[in-house]
């Protein structure tokens, strides 16, 4: 039965590009997920396998990162227009370019009396609040928490001095992006015993969230483990009375940001353009306890 080729396109999908613009000590972030689809005179590649009219999808990826450096990202719309215009005008066989962009917005973490908030960010969009209440007919255990709170420091993070063996390729760095998704659970000291005042649940949640963000922003981090301990410690240290928290368990997947290699295009990359990789990722987990307290929050997969 005879067949014919219908509508078709090709490209590179979901190029995660993060552009940091450094205005002195104040940084600005554009975090985009860019998908490129190209169509035109592409019959031969389908029918005979000839690649004569094919711009490699790897090249479209490289173009996204190079344009982020060369032209900056004023807006998702303007960036998409630049890319589409380039692909159609520079390649005769390409008649149509479709650029789809998702922008992940960030807002600054305020830090009172300090300028570190100028490069500390929290992803816009609310995290999921959680709670687990256990009661045995006599005692209560309340474990509150949050998931999916994405935070990022665009500087004030290093990673060096680690163990190296024959399989180690990671380079030491004295300046890197540190980003993670905060997943936290915290256990109150309150058990419902006679005479115990009940915690102020709403106020406590806001305070813990603020302490997690504040400690992340204010810690000059030599490792994500160091940030984890600082975050859990601040929550415990700042909780008291009915709202006292005895245990904080944190799970912090490292949202890696790798410097994009722009050297093949004759461009330098002074900690400006990053490839945001979602997997595989380092997973840092730990528990911080009030002195004398037992660990009771169960470990989950």
Is 153 annotated as a binding-site member? no
Beta-carbon contacts of 63 under 8 Å, excluding residues fewer than 6 positions away, are 36, 83, 86, 87
Token pair, residue 193, equals 């015993």
Phi then psi for 43, rounded to 5 degrees? -60, -45
168 is catalytic: no
Q: Is 133 helix (H, G, I), strand (E, B) or coil?
A: strand
Q: Which of 229, 227, 192, 204 is nearest to 131 (CA)?
A: 204
* Contact yes or no for 187/141 (Cβ under 8 A): yes
Is 63 annotated as a binding-site member? no
Alpha carbons 245 and 225: distance in angstroms, whole number:
20
Q: Is 108 helix (H, G, I), strand (E, B) or coil?
A: strand
Catalytic residue among 21, 57, 147, 287: 57
User: By CB neighbour count within 10 A (0-12 exposed, 13-18 middle, 19+ buried), where does 139 fall?
Assistant: exposed
Alpha carbons 146 and 220: distance in angstroms, whole number:
24
Catalytic residue among 12, 61, 69, 119: 12
Token pair, residue 144, equals 């509150």
139 is catalytic: no
Residue pointed to by tokens 């300046």: 175
Catalytic residue among 30, 61, 119, 256: 256
Is 254 annotated as a binding-site member? yes
Q: Radius of gyration (Cα) for the chain, nearest Å?
A: 24
Beta-carbon contacts of 282 under 8 Å, excluding residues fewer than 6 positions away, are 224, 253, 254, 256
57 is catalytic: yes
Is 57 annotated as a binding-site member? yes
User: By CB neighbour count within 10 A (0-12 exposed, 13-18 middle, 19+ buried), where does 230 fall?
Assistant: buried
Q: Which residues are annotated as a binding site for O2?
A: 57, 254
Q: Which residues are annotated as a binding site for 5-hydroxyisourate?
A: 57, 159, 176, 225, 254
Catalytic site positions: 12, 57, 256
Q: Which residues are annotated as a binding site?
A: 57-58, 159, 176, 225, 254
Q: Which residues are annotated as a binding site for urate?
A: 57-58, 159, 176, 225, 254
């Amino acid at each position: 039965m005879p067949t014919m080729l219908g509508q078709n396109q090709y490209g590179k999908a979901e190029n995660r590009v993060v552009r940091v613009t450094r205005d002195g000590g104040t940084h600005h972030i554009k975090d985009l997920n860019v998908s490129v689809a190209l169509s035109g005179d592409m019959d031969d590649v389908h029918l005979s396998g000839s690649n004569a009219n094919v711009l490699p999808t790897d090249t479209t990826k490289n173009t996204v990162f190079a344009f982020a450096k060369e032209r900056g990202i004023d807006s998702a719309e303007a960036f998409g227009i630049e890319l589409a215009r380039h692909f159609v005008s520079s390649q005769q066989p390409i008649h149509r370019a479709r650029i789809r962009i998702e922008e992940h917005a960030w807002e600054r973490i305020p830090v009172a009396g300090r300028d570190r908030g100028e490069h500390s960010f929290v992803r816009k969009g609310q995290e999921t609040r959680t709670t687990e209440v256990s009661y045995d007919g006599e005692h209560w255990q309340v474990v509150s928490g949050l998931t999916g709170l994405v935070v990022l420091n665009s500087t004030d993070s290093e990673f060096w001095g680690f163990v190296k063996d024959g399989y180690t390729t990671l380079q030491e760095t004295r300046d890197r992006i540190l980003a993670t998704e905060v997943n936290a659970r915290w256990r109150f000291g309150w058990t419902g015993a006679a005479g115990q005042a009940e915690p102020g649940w709403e106020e406590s949640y806001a305070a813990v969230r603020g302490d997690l963000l504040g400690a992340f922003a204010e810690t000059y981090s030599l490792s994500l483990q160091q940030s984890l301990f600082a975050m859990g410690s601040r929550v415990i240290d700042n909780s008291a009375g009915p709202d006292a928290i005895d245990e904080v368990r944190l799970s912090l997947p490292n949202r890696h940001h790798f410097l994009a290699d722009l050297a093949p295009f004759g461009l330098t990359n002074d900690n400006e353009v990053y490839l945001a990789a979602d997997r595989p990722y380092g997973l840092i987990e730990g528990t911080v306890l009030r002195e004398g307290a037992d660990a009771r929050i169960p470990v989950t997969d």
